[in-house]
A and B are shown apart, each in its own frame.
Chain A
C-alpha cells in the first residue's frame, strides 16, 4: 500500500512539473496577415506580412522570418530567411502559388536556443476565365543577336474563328506592362510578336502574357518568364579564312559577328572537312590551329557557328552555320601585310630625312651672292672720294 502511495505522489509531481515546464516554455507567434499580392506585373508577386504580437520582453528583439514558397504541384519548396516584411519574386502564373511563413526568435533573445513559431499559410491563383484548350500552345521566344526578341505561338487547340490573341510584356524598369506593337500575323490573326529597343532588359526576369479575345467564349491567358541573355541566337561568324602555316598545320580564322554582343562573350563550334572526313572542334577564340590528317589532301574546308558562352549567359541557341570556306592553294598570308606597314613608315621617314639634308645644302650659294654685292658697293664708294 505504501508503495502505491509513493507511486501516486511521484506521478502527481511529474505531471505538475510538466505543466509548469510547458507554461514556462518560450513561444513566439507566427506573422500576421500573410498574403500574396499581384500588382499586375504578369508574374512578379509580392509576398507580404505583418510582425507578430510578441511578449513585452521580446519587443526589442530583431525578428527573422522563414518563408517557403513554390508553385502548386511542385515537389520542392524554395526557402528564404529575411528581416523584411515583404519578399518580391517572379513566378509562373500558369500554376497557383503557395507560401508558408514562421517567425524566428534568435538565441540572443531567448538566452538559450532559437525559438520558431508555427507556420501560417496562404496561396494565390490568378483569376482566369476560359478553358485550357483556348490557351495558346508552343510558345517560343528567341532573342536574335541580343537585339530583337521574337516570340511566336500556335493558336489554342479548340477556338472559334473570331479569336485573336494579344501579347503583353513587363520587366523591371517599365512602369507598367506594355502591349506588343509589331505583331507577326497569319491570315490576319496574331501568331507572334517582334520587340526591339528593349533598354536594360537583360539579366533580370522578363515576363510575358498572351491573352486573347473572342465574342463566343473567354480565352485563357498563358504566361512565360525567362531572362533575355539566356535565349540569344547570335548571327553566324563572317570573313572566314584558311591559311597553311607549314606543310601540316592549318590556321582557320573568322571575325566576330556584328552587333552588340561583346566578342569575349562568344564560343564557337568548328567543323573541318578534309576530303571525305569531317571532324568537330570547339573554341572561345576567333581562330584555330589544326594538324592536317594527310599530307596530300586535295580539299580542306571548314565552317563555324557561334553561341553565347557560359561566362555571359547560362544558356542560348547556336547561330546558323557560316558559309563554307575552303583552302585555295598557296596564297600570301594576311599577317605579312601587317608587318610590312611599319617598315614602309620607316622607309618614308628615312626618305624625308634625306630630303631635309639635301634642303640644308642648297641655301649656301645664296649666302655667297650677298657677300659679292657688299664687296662691289665698298669699291664704288672708294672711287668717288
Chain B
C-alpha cells in the first residue's frame, strides 16, 4: 500500500515538474543587450558629445566587472553645449545610468572582492570610453551565459 502511494507521489511530481514553465525572462541579459544597443547608438553621435575625457576602466580583473561598470555609470558623459541631437543623447545616457538587475552570484561576490576605485582608472576620450564600455558589456554577457 505504501509503495503504491510513493509511486503515485513520484508520478504526480513528474507531471507537475514537466508542466512547470521555464524560468522567467532573464532580466540581466535583456538589460545588458539593451545597453550594448545604447552604446552603439551613442557611437553614432560621438561628435556631438562633450569632448572632456572620462574615466574608462580597462583590463578589468575577474569579479570586478560590476564595480567597473559602476565606474562607467558615474562618468559625466553628456552632450556638448553647442551640440545637436541633445535629446537623443541625454535619453541614451540615462539608459546607461539605470541600475543593473542583480543575480544570486553577483550578490555573493559584491561583499568579498576588493576592486580598484574609479579614480584609479585612466581618463579617455568619449570614443574610447564607449568602446571600452562595449567590451566590458560583451564580457559580462558572456560570463553571465557561461
B-binding residues in A (CB < 8 A): 78-84, 87-89, 172, 200, 202-204, 229, 260, 262-265, 310-314, 341-342, 345-346, 348-349, 352-353, 355-356, 359
Q: How far is the CB of A349 from chain B (nearest CB, A)?
A: 5
Q: Which residues of A contact B12 (CB under 8 A)?
A: 349
> What is the interface size of chain B, counting residues whose CB is below 8 A from a CB of the partner?
36
Residue B78 lies at the interface, judged by CB distance under 8 Å to chain A:
no
Residue B124 lies at the interface, judged by CB distance under 8 Å to chain A:
yes
Q: Which residues of B contact A81 (CB under 8 A)?
A: 53, 122-123
The prevalent SS among residues of B at the interface is helix
Of all A-B residue pairs in the complex, the 5 with the closest CB atoms, nearest first, are A262-B145, A81-B123, A345-B15, A203-B139, A80-B122
Residue B138 lies at the interface, judged by CB distance under 8 Å to chain A:
yes
Q: How far is the CB of A298 from chain B (nearest CB, A)?
A: 38
Q: How far is the CB of B82 from chain A (nearest CB, A)?
A: 20
The answer to whether A345 and B11 touch (CB under 8 A), given A78-B128, A79-B125, A311-B33, is yes
CB-CB nearest in chain A for B119: A83
Q: Is the CB of B122 within 8 A of A84?
A: yes
**Given contacts A78-B125, A314-B134, could you give 19 more A-B pairs where the C-beta distance is less than 8 Å?**
A78-B128, A79-B124, A81-B122, A81-B123, A83-B120, A84-B120, A204-B59, A311-B32, A311-B33, A311-B138, A311-B141, A314-B135, A341-B18, A345-B15, A352-B4, A352-B11, A355-B4, A356-B5, A359-B1
Task: Tell me the complex Cα distance, A172–B60, Å.
Answer: 11
Interface residues of B in 4-23 (CB under 8 A from A): 4-5, 7-8, 11-12, 14-15, 18-19
Residue B146 lies at the interface, judged by CB distance under 8 Å to chain A:
yes
The answer to whether A356 and B8 touch (CB under 8 A), given A79-B124, A83-B119, is yes
